[in-house]
Structure 1
Amino acid sequence: MADDATKDTRKVEDLSFKEASVELEQIVRSLEAGDLELEESLERYSRGVELLKSLRERLANAEQKVRVLLDATDEDAPVTDTTAAPSTAYLDE
C-alpha cells in the first residue's frame, strides 16, 4: 500500500534542494521495498526522475557559481614574482 507520507504533490521547483533530495531518497526506498502496485511504482519512478533532473541542474548551477567566484578571486589575487628572490638552497648545505 502507498505511504502518503512519501507523496509530495508540490511542484519540484518549489522544493528546496534538501527537500527534493529527501523526497527522492524516500521514493528510492519505497521502490526498492517492492511493496507498491505497478501504477504507484510508475508514478513514484516518474516523480523520482523529475526530482533527480532538478537536483542535477541545481547542482550544476551551484558548481558554475563556485567556478565563477573562484575565477574572480584568482583574478583579484596579487601575483608575486619569485624569480628575482634570492635562492635559499644554500641554507640546507
Structure 2
Amino acid sequence: MKDCRDYFQETNRRVSFEYALLAGVNDKVEHAVELAELLREWGKTYHVNLIPYNPIEGSEYKRPYKKAVLAFAAALESRKITASVRQTRGY
C-alpha cells in the first residue's frame, strides 16, 4: 500500500486496485467492509475493479454468484468506495 500511495503522490494519478472475487473465500459483505476500511485513508484517489473469478479446469476455486458480487459492490459503494464489476469474458 505504501508503494501505491507513493505512486499517487508522485504522479497525482488515480490508483486502480484489482480485486478477484472467489466464491466462499473473499466474496462476502464483511470482506467488502474490510477492503473499505483498508482504502479509507485514500480519499477519492483510487478505484476498485471487482473481477469475478472465471473457473478453470482443475481449480478448487469457484465463481461467486451474481447476487454475491452485487452485494459486495453495494457494500463498497455504501461506504463511498468507487467500484465497478468487470464483465465476464471467459467461457
**Fold in common (TM above 0.5):** no
Which structure's relative contact order is higher, taking Cα pairs within 8 Å and 6+ residues apart? 2
Q: Higher strand fraction: Structure 1 or Structure 2? A: 2
TM norm structure 1: 0.30
Q: Higher helix fraction: Structure 1 or Structure 2? A: 1
